[in-house]
Structure 1
Amino acid sequence: MEPHLDRAAFDTAQDMSHFTDAERASYARFGYRYTGEAYTPHLTLGRTDEETALALARSGPGRTAVPRTWLFDRLSCYLMGEHGAHARTLAVRPLG
């Protein structure tokens, strides 16, 4: 994903005093703080042009290892904040 990051959009002035060391390192590298123990596997639905989406989908298996099966247990809708960050949960519905 690194070629698609808009590093100029990273808010380097934000208060990161409550971030863990891993979250600070991740934010500096990717503009997103949740890694390691703070990370929860999920899928994010978003938008991009079809060519980029296909390229990312085709190259995904070579970039990371994912389980053969996933259990999706809920659907969550949230209010998107600055730079696409999670600002507030609007609704959570269990699946199954």
Structure 2
Amino acid sequence: MFSKKEVHLIALSDLGDARDAVSRALSDAPADEAPGLRRAARILDELAERGGEPRVRWARGILERDGVDPVTHEVAAVRALRQELPGLSLLAATRLAREAKLAQQA
């Protein structure tokens, strides 16, 4: 009868677009700008390699910031995620905490 509305966490990433933009800029960059653009390209490549789903990266970031280890303190992890995003259901927060735990263990 009275159910909590689910808040869906959708995380979008423009990382591919950013990598393309830096590559285009590098192709016709003056010599003094090229080293900085190459460094930016390396940073973006590292982020892309690290990969993972953006919503799981978000959850891991929240848990790291709050000092909560989802492996040993799942309940605290769920609580931290729900406090960060009011309206996040218990089910969704539990799923995110478990995915963050799996990512951490990998």
TM-score (norm 2): 0.25
TM-score (norm 1): 0.26
Bigger helix share: 2
Structure possessing the higher relative contact order (Cα contacts under 8 Å, 6 or more residues apart)? 2
Bigger strand share: 1
